[in-house]
């Protein structure tokens, strides 16, 4: 059965259950709140899913978030113009991706170790440089609009995440970049033999992942008017959970952006429902774990039957 | 196929004095080989003779320690599969050919997608690729849907997709490393037919095979290798399976170090 259909049904069931327990769930205000909560993780997950389709794995995205936030806030503090501050932060995320890509694709360091290393190194670096202090500043309104503004009732973070998914959905479906991502993730040796620069392609995917993480950090900073060193903590796990629940294979080569949207929504709604219903948040953690194991089992089973 | 005119001009792909060691194993030892467009050359030899290693240098998967690859007498650089393809050399691998998660059409076009619009967008022309694929599939007399994923295809069908790809790329030279090793009788016959078609369309073909019956039925020339060296070379119609087996076993070793003329 199609994973996306399954997820939509599960989401409808979940929403129905929560609404029965707490009708306040089904208000525009609350649903927008859910979307806004989901937006930041959603932006990061878009990078993570493409990377995983391409056979990569990134634990350092949470550090990409804090790096982006830290750079943009510091840039403003030094009175750089908004466009430059944002560009520098995105470049910082991209640079993180380049480092990951070179280590993994070119030097052959296992992705788990490489990105665990950059996870610690970047967060440690940011902690050291900031002294653990939150960087608050009177950011210009054009900047905070990114995190707090509304366009026809829709919060900006939701618009941004929607744009990210639309753009990358089209790229994955309609361009050779999408084909190469699937090819490299399925079998990078064969892709290379077909004339694709597999190492460079994988590096590009890490760069996209790092850049989107930094973008999420920028949005977070704009939303709460400050950059804190706790931004992005545990994001790697939440993103990977969302991506895997969304039906993306752990073995590379298979996965979709729409599935990831559903996975991200699923996690956000579980969190929201637990809040609204006053259920123990520990149960949410358990529920997500159970769902993740379920998704991973389906993936492994599907892969085993397909292998000959 | 579109490269008929090229057929009248003879192109020659040549390996000259090639050696390659893996650690202390001298896998390939001063090997020279030639193939002209419009002929099929067989490379035969016992397991470990170095046949695949030589073919891998043509695909750019392995870089030789010594020796040169020449096309029409000018040396060419093959630093990777991309170079090899740009030179018009198409390698048909037995196992490592296709991306399971992509469709037949995508596999045929992999690395050479048909695009439309400004090139920096690399926007796929999906319709055109479907059309091209359907044409190639018809040409190969296959019953395949271009949109279907290649996983789940049989060995013979996968082979055919690989062949369709070689035809699409309009290669001048094609290399087959044990193309029929995993195939049934019918699929083997179809594959041999396609290899002959390649020649008839003016490609130069190298076939590595352990099956002497196949070799004798389609090739023009046979090169025998043993222990990393070329130990003999015969025109197919002037020799016999017994003689070839004798060369492989190391009876009368002539043509050693292979300064031969064509
Ligand atoms: N990547 C490699 N690393 C180390 N040794 C290798 C490698 N590739 C080949 N060899 C060795 O080089 C020699 C030649 O191998 P090659 O695969 O070229 O032989 P072959 O003629 O294709 O044999 P077969 O008929 O079994 O396919 C063998 O001794 C093999 O073990
Ligand atoms: Mg071999």
DSSP string, chain A: --HHHHHHHHHHHHHHHHHHH-GGGGSHHHHHHHHHHHHHHHHHHHHHHHHHHTT---STHHHHHHHHHHHHHHHHHTT--HHHHHHHHHHHHHHHHHHHHIIIIIT---HHHHHHHHHHHHHHHHHHHHTT--EE----HHHHHHHH-EETTEEHHHHHHHHHHHHHHHHHHHBHHHHHHHHHHH-HHHHHHTT--HHHHHHHHHHHHHHHHHHHHHHHHHHHTEE-TTTTTTHHHHHHHHHHHTT--TTSS---HHHHHHHHHHHHHHHHHHHHHT--HHHHHHHHHHHHHHHHHHHHHHHHHH--
Ligand 1 and B56: CB distance under 6 A: no
Cβ–Cβ under 8 Å, residues A120 and A103: no
Q: Answer yes or no: is pLDDT of A42 > 60.
A: yes
Q: pTM of the prediction?
A: 0.88
Chain A residues lying within 8 Å of B97, measured CB to CB: 190, 193
Tell me, what CATH number does B82's domain have? Answer: 3.40.50.300
Contact B102/A195, CB-based, under 8 Å? no
In a domain, B222, yes or no: yes
Full residue range of the structural domain in which residue B72 is found: 4-101+171-255
Domain A3-18+28-307: CATH class, spelled out = mainly alpha
In a domain, B114, yes or no: no
> In A225-280, which residue ranges form alpha helices assigned H by DSSP?
235-245, 257-277
Q: Which of B81, B99, B123, B166 to mutate to test the interface with A (most CBs of A within 10 A)?
A: B99
Question: Which two structure tokens, joined as six digits, stand for A163?
Answer: 């744009």
CA-closest residue to ligand 1 atom 16: B50
Atom of ligand 1 nearest to the CA of B51: 21
d(CA A135, CA A229): 9
For residue B148, is it within any domain? no
Indicate if the pLDDT at residue B5 is higher than 50. Answer: no
Highest mean pLDDT (candidates A211-215, A238-242, B109-113): A211-215
Name every chain A residue with its beta carbon within 8 A of the beta carbon of B80: 192
Which is more confidently placed, B174 or B4? B174
Residue B50 lies in a domain: yes
The verdict on residue B132 lying in a domain is no
Tens digit of pLDDT for each residue in B7-16?
456 889 999 9
Residue B247 inside a domain? The answer is yes
* Two structure tokens written together for B193: 């037919």
How far is Cα B136 from Cα B142, in angstroms, rounded to an integer? 9
User: Can you tell me the mean pLDDT for A118-143?
Assistant: 94
Instruction: Please name the member of A177, A193, A306 whose beta carbon is closest to the beta carbon of B96.
Output: A193
**Burial zone of B242 (CB within 10 Å; 0-12 exposed, 13-18 middle, 19+ buried):** exposed
**B64 close to ligand 1 (CB < 6 Angstrom):** no
The answer to whether residue A184 neighbours chain B at the CB level (below 8 Å) is no
- Report the pLDDT averaged over residues A83-102: 98
pLDDT at A259 over 90: yes
Domain count for chain B: 1
For A30, counting Cβ atoms within 10 Å of its Cβ (0-12 exposed, 13-18 middle, 19+ buried), the class is middle
Predicted pLDDT of residue B253: 47
Predicted ipTM of the assembly? 0.85
Percent of chain B with pLDDT over 90: 60
Query: What backbone phi and psi angles, to 5 degrees, belong to B92?
Result: -105, 105
- Specify whether the CB–CB gap between A235 and A111 falls below 8 A: no
Please give the Cα distance from B89 to B75 (Å, whole number): 14
**Residues whose CB falls within 8 Å of the CB of residue A47, separated by 6 or more in sequence, listed in order:** A58, A61, A208, A209, A210, A211, A212, A213
Would you give the end-to-end CA distance of chain B in angstroms?
A: 28
CA of A298 to nearest chain B CA: how many angstroms apart?
Answer: 17
B82 and A CB contact within 8 Å: yes
Give the residue among B63, B70, B65 at the shortest CA–CA distance from B33: B70
What is d(CA A284, CA B67) in angstroms, rounded to the nearest whole number? 65
Task: Return mean pLDDT, chain B.
Answer: 87
Domain-embedded: residue B91? yes
Q: How far is CA B255 from CA A276, B33, B34, B51, B68, in A?
A: 86, 12, 14, 17, 19
Answer yes or no: is B248 within a domain: yes
Q: Is the CB of B50 inside a 6 Å radius of any atom of ligand 1?
A: yes
Higher local confidence (pLDDT), A65 or A152? A65
> pLDDT tens across A174-192, in order?
999 999 999 999 999 999 9
What is the predicted pLDDT for the residue at B17? 96
**pLDDT band at B6; cut points 50, 70, 90:** very low
Q: For residues B46 and B244, give the distance between their C-alpha atoms in angstroms, rounded to a whole number.
A: 11
**From the CB of B45, is ligand 1 less than 6 Å away?**
yes
B26 lines ligand 1 (CB under 6 A): no
């Amino acid at each position: 059965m199609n994973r996306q259909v399954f997820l939509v049904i599960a989401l409808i069931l979940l929403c129905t259950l929560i609404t029965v327990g707490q009708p306040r769930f089904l208000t525009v205000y609350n649903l927008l709140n859910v979307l806004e909560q989901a937006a930041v993780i959603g932006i990061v997950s878009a990078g993570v899913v493409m990377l995983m389709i391409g056979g990569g794995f990134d634990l350092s995205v949470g550090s990409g978030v804090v790096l982006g936030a830290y750079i943009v806030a510091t840039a403003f503090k030094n009175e750089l113009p908004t466009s430059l501050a944002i560009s520098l932060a995105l470049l910082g995320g991209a640079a993180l991706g380049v480092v990951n890509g070179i280590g993994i694709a070119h030097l052959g360091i296992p992705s788990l170790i490489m990105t665990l290393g950059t996870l610690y190194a970047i967060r440690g670096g940011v902690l050291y440089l900031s002294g653990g202090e939150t960087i608050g500043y009177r950011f210009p309104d054009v900047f905070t609009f990114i995190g707090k503004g509304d366009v026809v009732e829709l919060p900006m973070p939701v618009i941004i995440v929607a744009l990210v998914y639309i753009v990358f959905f089209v790229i994955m479906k309609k361009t050779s970049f999408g084909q190469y991502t699937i090819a490299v993730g399925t079998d990078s040796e064969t892709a290379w033999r077909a004339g694709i620069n597999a190492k460079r392609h994988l590096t590009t995917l890490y760069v996209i992942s790092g850049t989107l993480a930094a973008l999420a950090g920028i949005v977070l900073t704009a939303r709460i008017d400050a950059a804190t060193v706790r931004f992005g903590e545990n994001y790697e796990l939440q993103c990977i959970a969302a991506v895997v629940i969304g039906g993306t294979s752990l073995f590379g080569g298979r996965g979709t952006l729409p599935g990831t949207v559903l996975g991200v929504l699923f996690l956000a709604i579980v969190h929201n429902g637990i809040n609204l219903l006053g259920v123990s948040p520990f149960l949410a953690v358990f529920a997500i774990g159970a769902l993740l194991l379920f998704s991973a089992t389906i993936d492994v089973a599907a892969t085993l039957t397909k292998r000959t | 196929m579109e490269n008929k005119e090229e057929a009248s001009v003879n192109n020659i792909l040549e390996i000259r004095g090639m050696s390659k060691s893996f650690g202390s194993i001298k896998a390939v030892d001063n090997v020279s080989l030639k193939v002209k467009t419009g002929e099929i050359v067989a490379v035969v030899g016992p397991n470990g003779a170095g046949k695949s290693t030589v073919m891998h240098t043509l695909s750019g998967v392995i870089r030789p320690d010594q020796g040169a690859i020449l096309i029409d007498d000018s040396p060419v650089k093959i630093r990777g599969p991309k170079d090899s393809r740009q030179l018009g050399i198409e390698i048909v691998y037995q196992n490592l050919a296709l991306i399971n998660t992509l469709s037949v059409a995508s596999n045929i076009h992999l690395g050479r997608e048909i695009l439309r619009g400004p090139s920096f967008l690399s926007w796929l022309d999906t319709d055109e690729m479907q059309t091209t694929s359907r044409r190639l599939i018809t040409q190969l007399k296959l019953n395949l849907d271009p949109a279907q994923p290649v996983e789940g295809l049989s060995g013979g069908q996968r082979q055919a997709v690989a062949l369709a790809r070689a035809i699409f790329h309009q290669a001048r030279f094609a290399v087959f490393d044990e193309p029929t090793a995993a195939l049934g009788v019918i699929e083997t016959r179809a594959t041999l037919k396609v290899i002959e078609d390649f020649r008839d369309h003016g490609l130069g073909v190298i076939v590595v095979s352990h099956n002497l019956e196949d070799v004798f039925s389609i090739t023009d020339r046979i090169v025998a290798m043993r222990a990393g060296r070329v130990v003999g070379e015969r025109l197919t119609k002037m020799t016999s399976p017994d003689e070839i087996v004798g060369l492989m076993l190391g009876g009368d070793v002539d043509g050693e170090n292979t300064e031969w003329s064509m």
